[in-house]
Each structure stands twice: as structure tokens, then as C-alpha cells.
Amino acid sequence: MGIGEILEKDNLERSELITLLNSEGEDKKLLFSRASDIKLAELGNKVYFRGLVEFSNICGKDCYYCGIRKSNKKTHRYNVTDDQILEAARFAHENNYGSFVMQAGELESPAFTNRIEHLLKEIKKLSSGKLGITLSLGEQSRETYKRWFEAGAHRYLLRIESSTPELYHRYHPEDSLHDFQKRLDCLYTLQDLGYQTGTGVMIGLPFQHTAHLADDLLFMQKMDVDMVGMGPYIEHQDTPLFQFRDQLMPIQERFELALKMIATLRILMKDINIAAATALQAIDPLGREKAVKVGANIIIPNITPGKYRNDYALYENKPCVDEEPEECKSCLDVRIQLADGEIGYGQWGDSKHFYRRTEKTINYEN
């Protein structure tokens, strides 16, 4: 079956997903153009902002790919103060970002749970409930997720990293802290508690083939997720996975494959939110705008206070590490216009899919 016929189908099979992910030249252009049309028809041209604060690189885990893993003794550890986090939230609110994301290394402790719960309540207070809040704080107990939900978080992003258990085990130590089933159960718990639930994978990892990525897309469809954040894997020299760098595809190919994953996912799940990952920008300065052109509808500007940005080094050449939030905002405005998008200022930009899935009424203006 030719690519034209595949793109007209309502439901895509694994082999067809693989064909799309392997597409080149004119076929790739057709894929991108179909994904762009679907996004415009389903969601319009609005792009929503989530102001991101990477508030700590202290992590209890040891994922083999990540520069801030616990065993990397070269990382300078930091923890942004509560006041600085609230300041960043105020910045997001005052600049009409609509939503705020708190991300960090993974810690599981009563003190950490209390801290986040307190911050959530304060952010709701300072924004009179107007700032939408997404969390990306890894695996936690049901009780913790529940407390954070009740304190005001309404979206949660937990990447499955790879939905193939055998691959997952190659990227993580074999212990109870890095258990595939536990991560999966967390995703189900988040959905069950009422969060808009997001997942994602890294693209272009060693040992990963297009067929694995097709399975990742089918996993997202089967899980019926509301949001996806996925981007290229970028190696970091102080991590165990770095030893396999010779097996990686060239970085530009990883970038193109990530765009094809976004476009294919948009065709598969027409009404979900898809984020343009920062890692895309690390490879190509216009990476996020290119992602918006082929199906993404969420941009996550980094508003972490400047002096900490260098230390949240998950991978090499992280972009915008020297910028202050004000500079980021003006630069993004221009860029989104380049990609024919319009920024949905002051709106939460919730996942349409979530409302269809749960039959709730969409809340466009907060």
C-alpha cells in the first residue's frame, strides 16, 4: 500500500506506522502535510505555552541515559527555593502563559510531598486559580498523586521512555526503583485519579528500531493518553549509555525521526496535546517550530531562573541556558509566528481528548 492510501485510513496498523516512520523525500512531505492538516482541522492553529521550572536536579534514580542521574558525581546539585519557584509562577501568570510546569529529579519522601503540596496551593492562590499546573516529578505513591491533584495539579507527565519492557531494562538498572511495571501502574493511577495524563518516549536510543517506535505509538493509543511529550535522545558523556554512542544514528536523523514520530502520532491521535520537546531545539534552533508545523501544539518555554539552567543538564548542548525568562518570551513569539501558529495566551490549552474521553466540558478560558 502506498503512503497516500495509508494516510487516508482511519486506523493504522503496526506495519503502516513503520512505513510512515521510514518515509523519506516526497513521502515524508506527504506525511507532514497530512499531520498539519489534521491538527488544523481538529485543534486549529493555537499553540499553548507551559512555563517550565526545572526546580531541582537532585534525583534518587540512576537512569542510564540521564546526565543528572544520582551516580553522576560531576553534577553540581541545586534546589531552587520555594520563593523563586513562586516568583517564576508569578512570571508565567503575569505574562499570560496560562500554564506552569514543575519538573525535577525524582524524590519520594514525606517532606517532598508536603513541599509540592504547599507550592501548589500557593501557586493557585497567587494566580487566583487561573494558572493551570502540570507536574513531572516521576513515580510517586497513589496517596501523593492524590494529594497533589487535590492541591491543584491537573496534568501529569510521566514518560514511559520505552514501551518495550526488554528495551526499558537496557536503559535502567535492574532494581525496584526502576521497575517497568511500576512506571506503567503509575500512569494508570494518574488516569484513575482524574489527571490529564501524558507520557512519551525518547527517540533514537541505542538498540531501538523503528518497529519499537511504532509499538510506542500503539502503546500511547492503547493507553488513551491525553498528552505526549517526546523528543530525540541526546547522549551525555557522563552516563553509562554513552559507551554505545557509536551505534547511534546521526543526530540530524534522530531529529527527523522525532518529527516523523510527532506527525504520525498526530494522525493516530488527532485531538491530544503534543509538546514540542526542548531536545528538538538542542539539535536545531528552530526545532520546536518545525515540530509545531508537523503536528505539535504545545511549547514549553524554560523559565527556570538563569543561574540554575546549566545544571539541569540531561544531555549535551541544552539550549537557552544563558537566557532570562523575558528574553525567552519575545524570542518565542516571533518563532511561533514563523510556524504559522498563534499563541493561546492566558488559556490552559487543555487536551481536547481528555474532555472527550471523560465526557467533561472543555474549559477554554480557565
Q: Which spans of this chain sit near ligand SF4 (rule: CB under 6 A)?
A: 59, 61, 63, 66, 68-69, 105-106, 138
The cell 518515509 sits on which residue?
A: 23
Partner whose binding site includes residue 233, from ligand SF4, ligand SAM, none (CB under 5 to 8 Å by kind):
ligand SAM
> In the structure grid, which three cell numbers stand for residue 239, read together?
552516563
Per-position x/- string for 266-305, each x denoting binding to ligand SAM as judged by CB under 6 A, each - no binding: -------------x--------------------------
Residues 6+ apart with CB under 8 A from 259: 32, 280, 290, 291, 294
Does residue 153 interact with ligand SAM by CB under 6 A? no
Question: Minimal distance in Å, beta carbon 53 to ligand SAM?
Answer: 12
Contact window for ligand SAM (CB under 6 A) among 45-53, 164-172, 232-240, 353-361: 232-240
**Cell numbers 525568562 correspond to what residue?**
325
Provide the β-strand partners of residue 275.
Answer: 229, 298
- Short-list 99, 322, 93, CA closest to 196: 99
Helices 251-268 + 25-43 axis angle, to 10? 40
- The maximal CA–CA distance of the chain, rounded, in angstroms, is 58
* Residue 232 beta carbon to ligand SF4: minimum distance, rounded to whole angstroms: 15
Give the per-residue SS3 of 160-198. CECCCHHHHHHHCCCCHHHCHHHHHHHHHHHHHHCCEEE
Q: Name the nearest CA neighbour of 234 among 277, 203, 263, 260.
A: 203
Coil, helix or strand at residue 201:
strand
Interface with ligand SAM, residue 202, by CB under 6 A: yes
Are the C-beta atoms of residues 262 and 295 closer than 8 Å to each other? Answer: yes
Q: Does 311 bind ligand SAM (CB under 6 A)?
A: no
The residues in 5-64 that bind ligand SAM, with binding defined as CB under 6 A, are none
- Asked if residue 163 binds ligand SAM (CB under 6 A), the reply is no
Residue 29: how many other CB atoms lie within 10 Å:
12
The shares of helix, strand and coil residues in the chain, as percent rounded to the nearest 5, are: 50, 15, 40
Stretch of 119-127, 228-236, 292-300, 353-361 lying at the interface with ligand SAM (CB under 6 A) = 228-236
With CB cut-offs between 5 and 8 Å by kind, which of ligand SF4, ligand SAM, none does residue 136 bind? ligand SAM
Residue 140 touching ligand SAM (CB under 6 A): no
Residues 55-114 that bind ligand SAM (CB under 6 A): 65-66, 103, 105-106
* Selected binder of ligand SAM within 159, 309, 352, 353 (CB under 6 A): 159
Q: Which is nearer to ligand SAM, 62 or 106 (CB)?
A: 106
Q: How far is the CB of 52 from ligand SAM (least distance, A)?
A: 11
Q: Which residues bind ligand SAM (CB under 6 A)?
A: 65-66, 103, 105-106, 136, 138, 158-159, 161, 202, 233-234, 236, 279, 314-315
